[in-house]
């Protein structure tokens, strides 16, 4: 294959760096009106009064919408349930009624001829509230947290095994609320065409999910609505569910009967969704020889008052290492904040942080090298179901990662390694995620000019989907990469789920494979029908597409150009669309794995931490594009450094309000915080996970990174900080 597995540069790179790639807030239309959102200043209660008089008197203001005067929206809460909404609960309905469910909730929408006018008028809307008692602090609400069902069942008798264990470790690890902070602001532009049809440019990871949602909320027929999200400036999970700006933009377009653009401010985006604050309680029981007897993992996370958001935090602990006894509990604490959401490797990022720090502490207690402990607890079979993996090269991740990092030169004693005034710490952790695949459809249109167009509704959220689609299609159709164009992010294109879970690469690639196979059959039929066809006697099984030709692999590459076959068959174009349906197969576990090694240098006196080196060795099946995949892993490592050292949404629990809702005060790593990151893709051939051996790399890059950094900080300083982020004050405490 010419393209699969190569470091192909992004096919949309030029469009992005030259500004020709248009984002949701870029769409324009004559007569565009602009919206500005007014948000609640209290976390709970009801709106007693909205006075929009002063706003309405501003020249250029078209209308001010609120629950009192908005156009009709669905009453049934079920209509607001999108594809990825939590099963339990009723989704938030913007401008629906006078109830305040969280601080920063949209309560009015000012519409004006110009954006500046809308924004000014929004400051003039006067709101009176009846305030109700509220709570936003997980630590206050944890006692009232309730257990929710978890995907994985306990095994053995973890409590008794723990009590009897020779070596025990118990601790709580805390992850604060974190926000996705994609660089692109949430935006929607609704084009009003006057024929009752709406075209919606929306920042979303799932155009069909948004389309279905809008149809249900506004009682539209699918043909009356088209949702586009051709490019996205980062999502990290924040765009999986329809966000309120799209609901309000459609509401406004219907109210005004004209096109409307609504762009949220950075500050407003903090009230969309977030990674939930979570307490991870780990209870490990081990033999002195360094094998685990029992694993207990309890997670306590926040959720909103109106939906139960829970992910698999705890199950990784019973899966990743061999232990006879395992027990999991996941509890939710209701707080007066918006519903949390998926954020890069949801559940695993938080749960594995706890597990991998706990394993590090256990290694210290056992006086074992942390890699050695993990090798002694290594499991070649999935512990939940006692089934084999389709592939699991985690051992190889440990080996290659450690070798590149130079782990064998590590002195196990904390505070034993120095570089001048700095303490040096080396820490490591494992990572794990799922290799998922979803039903997906792809259309291929092959022209007689040798050009193919591939289309699918999936969004490219910046990960490189356009590029891998072009690579896979070029290889399977036997065309040069330049002869393939790709259309994504349009709800009218063939069906795809939301872009998430690391399932896009495998899902879309196999849909391409299936559709390309139909193109191959068509071309073979046409080729056979040609006069004096060299393929007259060929069998379909032997036919391949290569270099723009239909060839017989068995017969020395004998074949005919595709263009000739199509011309003889009088076909300008071949168009095929098919859906690749994924059959459930529970005979094997499907996972990606990683081993992360981190070096920190810590100024002993001042507690300033520098992450000077990270090596991430990843086993994720076949890597379609080593360049974009490497970027994914590097981005995950940077996210993990941020989680370990910087990121925290500060909530004033007296006001029930997020207070650092901007990217000056919400810290993510900047260039100075990121040094050498080395990515290793461990060779992991896998023809069981799926025919092309693709597992996906979107999430695995972040899992375990925060633990590796935290473990390195412990190794450097001898101080174990379990509450993230690890800041100067905690280190000096």
Q: Tokens representing 382?
A: 């999935």
Distance (Å) of CA 224 to CA 189, 192, 260, 360, 495: 16, 11, 17, 56, 17
Q: How far is the CB of 125 from other proteins (least distance, A)?
A: 12
265 vs 416, which CB is nearer to other proteins? 265
| Residue 164 touching other proteins (CB under 8 A) | no
User: With helix as H, strand as E and coil as C, how does 553-610 read?
Assistant: CCCCCEEEEHHHHHHHCCCCEEEEEEEECCCCCCCCECEEEEEEEEEEEEECCCCCEE
How many beta carbons lie within 10 A of that of residue 342, not counting itself?
Answer: 25
| Residue 267 touching other proteins (CB under 8 A) | yes
Binder of other proteins out of 81, 657, 695, 722 (CB under 8 A): 657
Site string (237-266) toward other proteins, x via CB under 8 A: ----------------------------x-
Nearest alpha carbon to residue 436 among 375, 501, 381: 501
Q: How far is the CB of 54 from other proteins (least distance, A)?
A: 12
> How far apart, in whole angstroms, are the C-alpha atoms of residue 149 and residue 331?
9
Stretch that binds other proteins, among 13-21, 138-146, 316-324, 670-678 (CB under 8 A): 670-678
- Cβ atoms of residues 234 and 183 within 8 Å: yes
Q: How far is the CB of 120 from other proteins (least distance, A)?
A: 5
Stretch that binds other proteins, among 24-32, 364-372, 616-624, 669-677 (CB under 8 A): 669-677
> How far apart, in whole angstroms, are the C-alpha atoms of residue 65 and residue 673?
44
| Residue 421 touching other proteins (CB under 8 A) | yes
| Residue 287 touching other proteins (CB under 8 A) | no
For residues 499-538, which are near other proteins according to CB under 8 A? none
Q: How far is the CB of 360 from other proteins (least distance, A)?
A: 24
Stretch that binds other proteins, among 441-449, 467-475, 479-487, 724-732 (CB under 8 A): 724-732
| Residue 645 touching other proteins (CB under 8 A) | yes
Stretch that binds other proteins, among 114-122, 396-404, 450-458, 683-691 (CB under 8 A): 114-122
Binder of other proteins out of 41, 416, 492, 579 (CB under 8 A): 41
Binder of other proteins out of 646, 695, 715, 722 (CB under 8 A): 646
Beta bridge partners, 388, equal: 381
Binder of other proteins out of 221, 409, 583, 733 (CB under 8 A): 733
Give the strand order in the sheet containing 106-112: 61-66, 106-112, 33-39, 260-263, 187-192, 198-202, 225-228
Give the strand order in the sheet containing 558-561: 543-546, 549-552, 558-561
> How far apart, in whole angstroms, are the C-alpha atoms of residue 86 and residue 64?
31
> How far apart, in whole angstroms, are the C-alpha atoms of residue 690 and residue 695?
8
Task: Specify whether 699 is catalytic.
Answer: yes
Distance (Å) of CA 544 to CA 473, 522, 550, 687: 13, 12, 6, 20
DSSP state string for 420-465: TTEEEEEEEEEEEEE-----EEEEEEEETTS-EEEE-S----SSSH
Binder of other proteins out of 151, 650, 685, 687 (CB under 8 A): 650
For residues 570-629, which are near other proteins according to CB under 8 A? 601, 603, 605-608, 610
| Residue 116 touching other proteins (CB under 8 A) | yes
| Residue 140 touching other proteins (CB under 8 A) | no
534 vs 718, which CB is nearer to other proteins? 718
CA angle 58, 103, 38 (to 5 degrees): 15
Binder of other proteins out of 2, 365, 546, 655 (CB under 8 A): 655
| Residue 719 touching other proteins (CB under 8 A) | no
| Residue 123 touching other proteins (CB under 8 A) | yes
| Residue 664 touching other proteins (CB under 8 A) | yes
Cβ neighbours of residue 336 closer than 8 Å, sequence gap 6 or more: 43, 44, 101, 102, 103, 134, 135, 136, 304, 305, 656
Say how many CA atoms lie within 13 Å of 320 toward its Cβ.
32
| Residue 120 touching other proteins (CB under 8 A) | yes
| Residue 129 touching other proteins (CB under 8 A) | no
Which residues carry out catalysis? Answer: 699
> Interface residues with other proteins (CB under 8 A)?
41, 58, 103, 116, 119-120, 123, 265, 267, 421-422, 601, 603, 605-608, 610, 645-646, 650, 652, 654-655, 657, 659-660, 662, 664-665, 667, 669-673, 727-729, 732-733
């Amino acid at each position: 294959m010419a393209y699969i597995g190569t470091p192909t540069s992004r096919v949309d790179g030029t469009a992005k760096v030259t500004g020709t790639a248009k984002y949701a807030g870029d769409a324009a239309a004559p007569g565009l009106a602009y919206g500005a959102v007014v948000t609640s200043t209290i976390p709970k209660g009801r709106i007693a009064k909205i006075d929009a008089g002063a706003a309405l008197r501003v020249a250029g203001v078209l209308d001010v919408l609120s629950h009192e005067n908005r156009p009709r929206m669905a009453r049934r809460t079920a209509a607001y349930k999108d594809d990825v909404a939590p099963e339990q609960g009723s989704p938030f309905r913007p401008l629906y009624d006078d109830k305040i469910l969280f601080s920063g909730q949209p309560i009015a929408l000012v519409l004006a001829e110009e954006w500046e006018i809308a924004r000014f008028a929004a400051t003039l809307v006067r709101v009176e509230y009846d305030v109700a008692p509220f709570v936003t602090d997980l630590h206050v609400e944890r006692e009232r947290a309730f257990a929710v069902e978890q995907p994985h069942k306990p095994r053995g008798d973890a409590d008794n095994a723990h009590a009897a264990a020779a070596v025990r470790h118990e601790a709580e690890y805390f992850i604060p609320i974190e926000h996705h902070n994609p660089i692109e602001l949430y935006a929607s532009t609704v084009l009003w065409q006057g024929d009752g049809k709406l075209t919606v440019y929306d920042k979303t990871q799932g155009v069909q999910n948004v389309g279905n949602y809008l149809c249900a909320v506004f009682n539209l027929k699918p043909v009356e609505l088209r949702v586009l999200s051709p490019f996205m400036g980062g999502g990290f999970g924040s765009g999986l569910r329809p966000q309120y700006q799209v609901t309000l933009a459609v509401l406004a377009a219907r109210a005004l009967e004209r096109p409307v653009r609504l762009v949220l401010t950075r500050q407003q985006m903090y009230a969309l969704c977030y990674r939930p604050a979570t307490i991870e309680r780990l209870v490990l029981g081990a033999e002195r020889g360094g094998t685990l007897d029992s694993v207990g993992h309890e997670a306590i996370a926040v959720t909103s008052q109106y939906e139960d958001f829970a992910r698999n935090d705890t199950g990784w602990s019973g899966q990743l290492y061999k232990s006879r006894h395992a027990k999991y509990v996941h509890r939710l604490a209701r707080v007066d904040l918006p519903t949390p959401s998926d954020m890069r490797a949801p559940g695993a990022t938080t749960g594995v942080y706890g597990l991998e720090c706990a394993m590090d502490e256990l290694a210290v207690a056992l006086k074992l090298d942390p890699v050695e402990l993990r090798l002694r607890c290594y499991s070649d079979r999935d512990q939940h179901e006692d089934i084999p993996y389709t592939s699991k090269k985690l051992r190889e991740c440990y080996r290659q990662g450690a070798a590149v990092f130079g782990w064998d030169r590590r002195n196990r004693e904390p505070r034993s390694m120095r570089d001048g005034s700095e303490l040096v710490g080396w820490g490591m952790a494992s990572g794990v995620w799922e290799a998922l695949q979803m039903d997906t459809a792809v259309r291929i249109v092959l022209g007689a000019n040798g050009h193919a167009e591939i289309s699918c509704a999936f969004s490219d959220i910046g990960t490189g989907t356009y590029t891998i689609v072009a690579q896979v299609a070029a290889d399977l159709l036997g065309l040069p990469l330049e002869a393939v164009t790709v259309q994504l992010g349009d709800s009218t294109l063939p069906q795809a789920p939301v872009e998430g879970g690391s399932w896009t690469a495998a899902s879309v690639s196999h849909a391409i494979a299936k559709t390309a196979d139909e193109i191959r059959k068509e071309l073979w039929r046409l080729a056979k029908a040609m006069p004096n066809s060299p393929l007259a006697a060929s069998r379909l099984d032997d036919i391949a597409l290569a270099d723009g030709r239909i060839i017989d692999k068995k017969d020395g590459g004998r074949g005919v150009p595709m263009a000739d076959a199509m011309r003889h068959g009088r076909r300008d174009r071949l168009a095929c669309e098919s859906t690749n349906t994924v059959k459930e197969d529970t005979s094997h576990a499907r996972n990606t794995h990683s081993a992360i090694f981190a070096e920190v240098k810590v100024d002993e006196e001042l507690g300033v931490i520098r992450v000077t080196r990270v090596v991430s060795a990843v086993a994720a099946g076949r890597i379609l594009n080593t360049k974009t995949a490497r970027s994914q892993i590097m981005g995950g490592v940077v996210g993990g450094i941020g989680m370990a050292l910087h990121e925290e949404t500060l909530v004033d629990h007296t006001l029930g309000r997020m207070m650092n809702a901007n990217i000056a005060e919400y810290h993510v790593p900047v260039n100075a915080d990121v040094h050498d990151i080395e990515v290793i893709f461990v060779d992991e051939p896998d023809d069981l996970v799926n025919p092309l051996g693709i597992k996906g790399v979107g999430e695995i890059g972040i899992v375990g990174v925060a633990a590796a950094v935290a473990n390195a900080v412990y190794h450097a300083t001898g101080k174990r900080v379990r509450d993230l982020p690890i800041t100067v004050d905690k280190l000096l405490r």
